[in-house]
Amino acid sequence: MMQMFRIDSNAAHACRHHIVSSTALETLHSVHAASQQGGKQTDLKMLSGWPVNMWLWILLTFIMPLLTSAYSEKERAQELMDRFPLIDGHNDLPLKIRVYYNNRLSQIDLQKISKAATDIYRLRAGSVQTQMFAAYVPCGAQEKDAVMLTLEQIDLVRRMCNKAQDLELVTTYDDLTNSMMKQKIACLISIEGGHSIDSSLAVLRMFYELGVRSMSLTHNCNTPWAETSTDLYGVFQRENNSLTPFGKSVVEEMNRLGMIVDLSHSSWETASAALKHSRAPVIFSHSSSHSICDNKRNVPDWLLRELEQKNGLIMVNLYSKFISCGKDANISDVADHFDHIKKIIGAKSIGIGGDFDGADSFPQGLQDVSKYPALIQELLKRNWSEQDLADVLRRNFLRVFKEVENVRDNSKHLIPSEDQIPSEKVKNLCRLDRQNPILQRSISGAKFILPNLYLMSSLLLFSSIFMNK
C-alpha cells in the first residue's frame, strides 16, 4: 500500500513503526526483565501464619455447602457481581486485534475471539459491566508515527464498541451508570503512554474529543517530560527530573479537560510528582503491590499512602509476574495483594485492572475475563465485606470518575493550555523544524514548494540538527 516517495525512498519508512509480529506481543509488556525480579512472599509464610480457629472456619466453609444446599461463596460472589458488576481498569484487546487481525473487525466475531482472553461472551460470564480498553501503541513508535497509530487504535475501539450490540462507548459518568441499566458493557478508552501525544497538548485535547478519558503518563519508555518505571528503551534519560515543567502542564491540562491521570508504568518519582500536582484524584489502572512482589511496576506502600491521601485508586493487575514475581501464580497470590493494600490504605482505594491481553501469563484460575468471580469468591472467603467488594468492583472507580468530572466542571474559567515543550527537547528526524525559514517563504502560489525544495529543506533540517548537537 505504501509506495516509495520519489526523492527520499527511505523517508517513507524511516518514521514508521511497524507493529507486525505476534512475538512482538510478548515483548511489549515484558516488564518482567530479569533485573526487576525480586523474591516473592511465599504461600508458606501466609499459611503458617493463620491461627487454628481460622483453619476451622475455612474447613467449615468448605464443608457446609457440600453438606447442605446452603449459600456458597461462589453463589455469593456471583450474586454480588450481579448487583455490582465489575469496572475493569485495563484491557489490551485492541492490541491483539491489531497484531492478529490488522484492525479488521470484519474478520472477528466479537462474541468469541479464540486468540484473545477477552470477548463479549466471556466479559458477560465474568460480570464485567465496564471495560477500559487501552488504545496502546508501542514505545518504538515514539518519535515516529505514534500519533497516527494511536488514532488508529482509538478508531478501532470506537468501531468495536459501535459494531457490537452488547457494547457501548461511554465518555461520561452518567453514560457509564446508564449503560448498566441498559445492560450494556460500557467501553472506556484509555491511552497507554504519553509518547502517544508527541509532547503536544493539542493532541491531548483532540484525544479527549475522540472519547479518551484516561492516559498513563508513560509506558515502558521515558517521554521528554516524564519517567517510566521500566526503562527498556533508554531514551530521554534525565537526572532527578521525574516530571518536567511540561509534564506538569500535561497533568494540569488533563485536570482541566477531565481526563484521568493514570500512573501505571510511571516511575515512583513521576507518580509522586503527579500526585502532588494533580487537582483531581489519580489512578493506577493496572498495578499491584510492591510489598508482595517487588517488581518496579508495582506500587510501594509509601506511594500507596500518598495515593490514598489524594482519594486515588489502585486497580490491581493480575499478570502473574506482578503477582508472584514468578511465572506461576494462583488466586490466593492475587488475593494477598488485595489483603495487603486493604491493610495499608483501605478498601476504598482499590479496584481491579486485569491487564488481560496485555500480558502473557495469568494466575491459575484467572486465565481470562470470565474468571473474575473466582477472585471475588476468594476475597469473600477472606472475610471481605460485601460493601468493601462493591467498592472494589465499581463504586471506587465511579467515585474517582465523578470527581475528575467535578474538577473539570470547576475549571471552566481556565482556557486551553498553550504551553509548549521546548523544541530542543523534541528535535528528531521525524519532526519538521518549524523554525526552518524556507517554510516562511511564499513562492508563486503560496505555500507551494519548488521542486528541489524538498531536498533543500531536508538538508537544512539535517544540518540544523548537527549544529545543535
Partner 1 sequence: MFYPVFWETAGFILSKSDPYLNRAYQLMSETPLIDGHNDLPWQLRMQFNNQLNKVNLDTLETTHTNIPKIKEGRLGAQFWAAYVPCETQYKDAVRQTLEQIDVVHRMCEKYPDTFKFVTTSQGIMDAFKENKTASLIGVEGGHSIDSSLGTLRTMYQLGVRYLTLTHSCNTPWADNWRVDDGSDPIQSGGLSPFGKQLIVEMNRLGMLIDLAHVPVSVMNQTLTMSVAPVIFSHSSAYAVCRHSRNVPDEILLKVKEKKGIVMVNFYNDYVTCSQKANISDVADHFDHIKKVGGAEIIGFGGDYDGVPRTPEGLEDVSKVPNLVAELLRRGWTDEEVKAALGNNLLRVMSEVERVRTQSTNNPGLCERVKRCGKDNSDHTG
Question: Grid cell 523544524 — which residue?
Answer: 433
Told to check if 464 binds partner 1 by CB under 8 A, we report no
Beta strands in 344-414 (DSSP E): 350-352
Strand 86-91 versus strand 283-284 pairing type: unpaired
113 near partner 1, judged by CB under 8 A: no
Q: Is 235 in the site for partner 1 (CB under 8 A)?
A: no
Residue 131 Cβ, how far from partner 1 at the closest point, in Å? 19
Question: Per rule CB under 8 A, is residue 437 in the interface with partner 1?
Answer: no
In the complex with partner 1, which residue's Cβ is closer, 54 or 432? 432
- Using the CB atoms, write b or e for 155-187: b if 16+ within 10 Å: ebbbebbeebeebbbbbebeebbebbeeebbbb
Stretch that binds partner 1, among 19-27, 274-282, 308-316, 426-434 (CB under 8 A): 426-434
Give the CA distances from residue 40 to residues 265, 324, 343, 352, 459, in Å, rounded to whole numbers and listed in that order. Answer: 20, 6, 18, 21, 55
- From residue 384 to residue 423, the character string flagging contacts with partner 1 as x (rule: CB under 8 A) and all else as - is -------------------------------xx-x-x---
Q: How many other C-beta atoms are found inside a 10 Å radius of the C-beta of residue 443?
A: 11
Q: Between residues 212 and 304, which has the closer beta carbon with respect to partner 1? A: 212
Residue type, 358: G
Cα–Cα dist 175/186, whole Å: 9
Q: Hey, which residues are catalytic here?
A: 90, 92, 192, 219, 265, 286, 355
Give the DSSP H/E element, type plus range, for residue 186. Answer: strand 185-192
In the complex, least distance from residue 325 CB atom to partner 1, rounded to whole angstroms? 38
User: Among residues 27 and 428, whose Cβ is nearest to partner 1?
Assistant: 428
| Helix and strand numbers, DSSP H then E, in the chain | 20, 9
**170 vs 130: CA distance, rounded Å:** 9
CB of 40 to partner 1, least distance (A): 41
8 vs 328, beta carbon nearer partner 1: 8
**Selection from 290, 390, 383 nearest residue 348 by Cα:** 390
Q: How far apart are CB 405 and partner 1 at their closest, in Å?
A: 19
Task: Specify the pairing of strand 128-134 against strand 212-216.
Answer: unpaired
CA 186/CA 131 separation, integer angstroms? 6
Q: DSSP E strands: which ranges in 234-378?
A: 260-262, 283-284, 313-316, 350-352
* Structure-block grid coordinates of residue 121: 461472551
Q: Interaction with partner 1 in 151-180: which residues (CB under 8 A)? A: 151-156, 158-159, 162-163
> In the set 30, 37, 72, 103, which binds partner 1 (CB under 8 A)?
103
What x-and-dash track marks residues 291-320 binding partner 1 by CB under 8 A? ------------------------------
Between residues 114 and 444, which has the closer beta carbon with respect to partner 1?
A: 444
Question: How many Å apart are CA 469 and CA 451, to the nearest integer?
Answer: 29
Could you say which of 41, 61, 178, 200 contacts partner 1 (CB under 8 A)? 200
Dist. CA 44–CA 195, nearest whole Å: 42
Is 431 one of the binding residues for partner 1 (CB under 8 A)?
A: yes
Q: Shortest distance, CB of residue 334 to partner 1, whole angstroms?
A: 35
| Residue 254 or 375 having the CB closest to partner 1 | 254
Which residue do the cell numbers 495499608 mark? Answer: 344
What cell does 60 get?
467449615
> Which listed range, 68-76, 221-229, 308-316, 431-439, lies at the site for partner 1 (CB under 8 A)?
431-439
The residue within the footprint of partner 1, chosen from 328, 448, 463, 468 (CB under 8 A), is: 448
Q: Among 203, 232, 235, 398, which residue interacts with partner 1 (rule: CB under 8 A)?
A: 203
Which cell numbers in the block locate residue 426?
A: 523534541
Q: Identify any residues that bridge with 228 across adjacent strands, giving them in sequence order.
A: 266
Instruction: Look at the chain and count its residues.
Output: 469
> Does 148 participate in binding partner 1 (rule CB under 8 A)?
yes
Piece of 4-12, 228-236, 338-346, 369-377 that binds partner 1 (CB under 8 A): 4-12
Q: Based on CB atoms, which residue is closest to partner 1, 125 or 449?
A: 449
74 belongs to the binding site for partner 1 (CB under 8 A) = no
Does 3 interact with partner 1 (rule: CB under 8 A)?
yes
- Across 344-364, b (16+ Cβ under 10 Å) vs e yields bbebbbbbbbbbbbbbbbbbe
439 binds partner 1 (CB under 8 A): yes
- Residue 331's contacts (CB-CB under 8 Å, 6 or more residues apart) are 363, 364, 365, 366, 374, 375, 378
Size of the site for partner 1 (CB under 8 A): 61
Give the shortest CB-379-to-partner 1 separation in angstroms: 39
Which residues contact partner 1 by CB under 8 A?
Answer: 1-3, 5-6, 8, 11-12, 14-16, 102-107, 145, 147-148, 151-156, 158-159, 162-163, 198, 200, 202-203, 205-206, 209-210, 415-416, 418, 420, 429-432, 434, 439-440, 442, 444-449, 451, 453-454, 457-458
